[in-house]
A and B are shown apart, each in its own frame.
Chain A
Amino acid sequence: MNAAGFPLLSILTFLPLVGALIIMTLRGEEAAVAANARWTALWTSLITFGLSLILWFRFDKSTADFQFVERVDWLPEFGISYAMGVDGISVLFVLLSTALVPLCIMASWESVQKRVREYMVAFLVLLTMMVGMFCAMDLMLFYVFFEAVLIPMFLIIGVWGGARRVYAAYKFFLYTLLGSVLMLLAIIALWFSAGTTSIPELAEFDIPFAMQVWLFLAFFASFAVKVPMWPVHTWLPDAHVEAPTAGSVILAGVLLKMGAYGFLRFSLPLLPEASAYFAPFIYVLSIVAVVYTSLVALAQQDMKKLIAYSSVAHMGIVTLGIFTFNQQGIEGALFTMLAHGVVSGALFLCVGVLYDRVHSREILRYGGVAKIMPAYALVFMLFTMGSVALPGTAGFPGEFLVILGAWAVNPWVALGAATGMVLGAAYMLFLYRRVAFGKVTRDDLRALLDLSPREYATFAPLILLTLWMGLYPQSFLSFFSVTVSQMVNSHQAAMQAASRLAGL
C-alpha cells in the first residue's frame, strides 16, 4: 500500500469535506450554529493538520519518487486514474495548506459574524481542494482540483469581502478561469498524443519541440495568472483588498503557490526544451515584476494593497528561481514559496488585527501604534523583517539561493533580483514607520487593546516557523534536495539530447 499503511493522502484530502458536511447539517439557533460551526471547522482542520504531520515524519527524503501513492482506475478507457502521491516538491505544500487553515479559522473567530456556517464550509472545501491539488499525480485530477479551488475562494471574497467585493471576486475568477481554459486545451492535446494523463508516465514521454512551445504557452497562460506574474497581476491587489483577512492569508499563503507549483510540476519536467527556450522571457517578466511592483508598493496608501504588491514582487523571485534550472535556484524558489506563505500570511493577519479594531486599512489612519500595542509592534516587526529577507528570518534563505542560482545563469539577472532587497526594505519600512512609529495623533487609537490570547495563539506558530525557517532552513531544504537534484539532472539530460538531435 504505502508508507502510512492506510490511504493517508485521500483522508487528508476528504476529511475536511466530511467536516463541511457535518457543519451543513447543523440546525438550530443562529448563535449556537455559529459556535458549533466554528468549533467543528477548527477541530476538523486541526485533525487534518495532525494527520498531515505523518508526512513530516515518515516522508523518505532519500528518494525522488512519489510516496504515499494511491491509485484507483477512474476512467480506464481514457487512461485516466485517481492517483495521489507526494514527492519532495509537493509534500511541504500539503503541510503548509493544512497548517494555515486552522490559523485562518482562528483568525476569523470574531471578525466573521454573518453566515458563519457557510464561511466555515467554504474554508473546509477550500482545504480539500488545495490538498487534493498538491497530491494529484494525474493531470486530469490536478485540473479538477486546480479549478475547483476557485469556487470557494470566489465565494469567500464575494460574500464576506469588503465594499467592492463583487468586482474583485469576478475579476479574480475571470482572470484565473481564462488562463485555465487554455490549460485544459493543453491537457487534452497531451492526452491525445501520449494516451495517458499520469504525471510520472508523461515525464517519460518525448514531446516534439514545436508542440512543446504551444503547450508551454498554454500552461503559461494559466500559471502566470495564478502566480501572478507581471502584467497579469492586477487581480491580486483587488482580491486581497476585498477579501476578509483569512481569505487574504490563504490566498497569499497557498493559492499563489499553485502557479509556481504548476511550472515546477509540468512546464519544467514535461517541456524542458520549451522551458529553456522561454527562460529569458521569464527572467524579464520576473525582474519587471520585482522592480515594477516594488515601486508600486511604495506608493500604496492601503496596507493590504501594499502587501499584495509585495507578494507579486516576491513571486517574481520565485519564477526567476524556477527557470534558472539549477539546484540553488530551484530550491531557493521552493523555499521562497514556503517562506512567503508563512510571512505574507502573517502580515495579512497583522493587518487584520488592526482592521478588526479600527476598521480601516488606510495607512495614514494609523501612527504610533508601537506605543499602544507593544507586543503587536514586535510581532509586526518580525514579519516585516521576514518580508525584507533579513538573514535569520524565513525570507532570507530562499532569496539568497535564488540570487546565487541566478548569478550562474546571468549576473544581470541576479542584479535585477537583488534590487528587490533595497526596494523591499524601502516599502516595508515605510509601511512600518507610518503605522507603528511616530506620535499618536488620533484619540481613538489610544484605546486599542494589545494582542488577545486568541491572537497570540494564531501568531505563535507563524513566529516559530519564521524563525525556524531562517535559523535552521536545513530541516525544510532536506525535503526537496533529492527531488530537485533529479529534476535538474533530467533537465540537463533532456537538453543534451535535444542539442545532439539538432547536431545530427
Chain B
Amino acid sequence: MFVGAVFFPLLGATISGFLGRWIGERAAMWSTVICMALAAFCGVSAFMQVAMGGQPTTEVIVTWMDVGDLEFAWALRYDTLSAVMVGMVTFISTLIHLYSVGYMSHDETRPRFFAYLSLFTFMMLMLVTADNLVQLFFGWEGVGLASYLLIGYWYEKESANAAAMKAFIVNRVGDVAFMLGMALTFFIFGTLEFDAIFAAASARANDTFAGLPALELIGVLLFLGAMGKSAQLGLHTWLPDAMEGPTPVSALIHAATMVTAGVFLMCRMSPVMEYAPVALAIVTVVGASTAIFAATIGCVQNDIKRIIAYSTCSQLGYMFFAAGVGLYQAAMFHLFTHAFFKALLFLGAGSVIHAMSDEQDIRRMGGIWKKIPVTYAVMWIGSLALAGIPIFAGYYSKDAILEGAIAANSVVGTYAFACGILAAFLTAFYSWRLLILTFHGKPRADQHTMDHVHESPAVMLIPLLLLAVGAVATGFTFAPYFIGDMQEAFWNGAIFNLPAKHMMEALHHAPHWVPTVAKITAVSGIALAVVLYGLFPQVPGRIAAAVPGLYRFLLNKWYFDELYDRIFVQPAKRLAGVFWQVGDVRIIDGMPNGAAAAVAGTARGAARIQTGRVANYAFAMIIGLVLFVSLFLLGR
C-alpha cells in the first residue's frame, strides 16, 4: 500500500510514455488513469492508517549513497505530514487525470501528456515521502523537470518554450540555495536524514557558522529554495508564465501540488525552523508581502488563468506567513483546503476556455452563465471558498492563519495580519471581478464563438463536482484534526512547535474581532466588485484612466520581468559574448597563435639570410669577427 501509492503513477507514466505508440492512445490514457486511481486508493488508505489511525511508518528501499560520514537511503517515510500530502496529491491528481481525458480529447500526442502528468505525480510523491533532504531534493527537481515538460507541452509555441525554460531556470536559482542549505546541514549535523537532524536540532541550536547562527542560516537557505518552488516574491516570475501549459497542468502543478512543496518543506523542517527565529521572521515578511503583492496584480489581469495564478501566488504567501509565525498546522491546513478549491477554480476555468473555443481573455467573455450552468456553479463554490466565506473550506484555514498572525503577538505577525486582511479584501474583489466579467453582462465574444458555447462532457464535470464537494466539506470536516482539539493526536509529532511559544493555544485565544473583521472584509470585497463590474461597468475603465501610472504598474506585474531582464539576462548575454569573443578568441587564443606566428616569422627571416651568395656570407663573417675580437679585447 505504501509503496503502491508512490509507484503506481510511475508505472502509469512508463506504460503511457513507452508503450503508448503500440497500445494506442485510448489504452495509454486510461492506463494512467487506472494507475492513478489505484494510487489514490492506496494513498487515501495510507492517510487513514497513518494520520487518522496514528501509525507512522518508514519503508527503507535501498541505500542511495554512502560516502564517508554521509549516508542516506531511498525510503518512503509516512508520518502524518506526508500522509496528508500523499492522500491529497493522489486524490486530486486522479481527478485531474480524469478531467484531462475530456479536456485533451482533441490533442495529437495524448500518451505523452498523460505520461508527463503521471511522472509529475510520482515525483511529487517522492518529494513528500522523502526521509532525507536529498530524496526530497530528488522529488523537488523531478517536479521541476515534469513541470518544465508540461509547461512546454505545446512545444511548437515559442511562448510556451520560453515559459518552460524560465520556470526551470528560476527554480534552479532557488535550488542553489537549497543545495547550499543541504551542504550546511551536513556540515553542522553530519547527516541529512530527518530523524537524526530533528533529534539533534535542540542541541545544535547555539552552533555558529562563520560567526552566524548556523540554524538561522540553514533556515534562510532552505527558505530561499522554497521561494523558488513556491513562487514567492522575487522568484515568482515563472508562475504566471507557466500558464502556457494546458489547463489541467495549471490545476495540478501550479495550484494543488508542486508550488506547495515549499510550504511543505518549511513544515517538514519545523524542528529546525523553530530554533531559527530570524529565519522565521523573514519567512513571515516575505510570505505576507507576496500575499498582498500578488493580490494587487490579480486585480487588473485579463487572462482568466493568470488571475487564478496570481491568486495562487497570494495564497501561498498566506501559507508561508502562517509557517513563519509558527503555525505549521494552519499552513498545512490551508495548503490542504486550497488544493481542492484552487484545483476546482482552474478546472472550472478550463471548462470555460473549452466552452469558449480556447478564448482566455475575460474581456471577450460575458453572458454565458446560462449556457454552462454547472461550470458556473462550481466557479461560484470555488470563489466562495477562496474568499473565505463561512462554511466553505477556505474560511476555516484562512481564518486560522489570520488569527494566528495576531496571536503571534509580534511585529512581523502584525505586519502579516495587516497584509493578510488587505489581501483577503483584494482576493474577494478579483474573484468576483472574474466571475462577473466571465459569466455575466452582455456577451462580448463574437457570434460564432457564442453559438458554440456548450457545457463540458461528463468526464470533465464529474471531477469538477467532486472537487466542489471538497471545496465545501474539507474545511469543517478536517478543522478539528488539523488545528482543532484533536490536532495533537492527529499530527502525532510530525510537526514540532517550540513549547515556549504556545502557538496552538494562542490560536484559540485570539481576539474575537478577528473572524468578524475577516468576514466583513471578504463581503465588502465582493460588494465592491459587484458594484464596479456588475452595476456600473463603465467605472473601472475610468478609474484606470485616472491613475494610468498605477494601472500600468500593476498590469505589468510591478515590472519584475523587465527588471530581471535588465539586471540579469541582458548582462549575462553580453558577458557571454565578451568572454567568448574577447577573452577566449582574442586574448587566450591570441597568445599561442601570436607565438606561433612569431616563430613562423622568425623562421622566415632566418631563411631569408641564407641567400646563397658567397659575398653576403663573407660580409657576415667579417662583421662577426670584428665584433668578436672587439669583445675579446674589451673584456680583457
Contact = CB atoms under 8 A, between A and B. Distances in A.
A327 B175 contact: no
Contact of B576 (A296, A473, A474, A481): A296
- Scoring A232, A385, A433 by chain B CB atoms within 10 A of each residue's CB, the highest score goes to A433
Interface in A455-504: 472-474, 477-478, 481, 485
B138 interface: yes
B575 A437 contact: no
B142 interface: yes
A406 B180 CA distance: 10
B282 interface: no
B583 interface: yes
A45 B610 CA distance: 53
A414 B584 contact: no
A327 B583 CA distance: 35
B451 interface: no
A429 B148 CA distance: 10
A361 interface: no
B179 A418 contact: yes
B25 to A, nearest CB: 14
Contacts of B148: 429
B145 interface: yes
B64 A407 contact: no
B176 interface: yes
Contacts of A474: 62-66
Given A404-B183, A411-B210, A429-B169, A299 B573 contact: yes
A404 B70 contact: yes
A171 B580 CA distance: 18
B68 A439 contact: no
A485 B68 contact: yes
Contact of A421 (B67, B69, B176, B184): B176
A166 interface: no
Interface stretch (A8-16, A104-112, A389-397): A389-397
Contact of B175 (A300, A370, A421, A472): A421
Contacts of B156: 368, 371, 437-439
Contacts of B186: 404, 407
B176 A385 contact: no
Interface residues of B, number: 51
- Scoring B68, B164, B180 by chain A CB atoms within 10 A of each residue's CB, the highest score goes to B68
A408 interface: yes
A144 interface: no
A404 B592 CA distance: 37
B173 A422 contact: yes
B163 to A, nearest CB: 11
A421 B580 CA distance: 20
Given A328-B68, A425-B172, A481-B66, A404 B182 contact: yes
B155 interface: yes
A201 B633 CA distance: 56
Nearest to B126: A392
A370 B66 CA distance: 38
Contacts of A390: 141-142, 145
A370 B108 CA distance: 14
B155 A437 contact: yes
If over half of A's interface residues share one DSSP class (helix, strand or loop), that class is named, otherwise mixed; here it is helix
Contact of A426 (B68, B169, B584): B169
B588 A422 contact: no
Contacts of A40: none
Contacts of B173: 422
Contacts of A397: 65
B172 A171 contact: no
B571 to A, nearest CB: 10
Contacts of B588: 231-234
A298 interface: yes
B577 interface: yes
A421 B180 CA distance: 11
Nearest to B572: A295
Given A404-B186, A419-B176, A430-B165, A438 B65 contact: no
A234 B589 contact: yes
B30 interface: no
B194 interface: no
B137 interface: yes
B155 A370 contact: yes
Nearest to A170: B596
A328 B70 contact: yes
Interface in B492-544: none
9 contacts: A299-B580, A332-B67, A391-B134, A404-B70, A408-B187, A411-B180, A414-B180, A422-B169, A429-B168
Interface of B: 62-70, 134, 137-138, 140-142, 145, 148, 152, 155-156, 158, 161, 164-165, 168-169, 172-173, 175-176, 179-180, 182-184, 186-187, 209-210, 572-573, 575-577, 579-580, 583-584, 588-589, 592
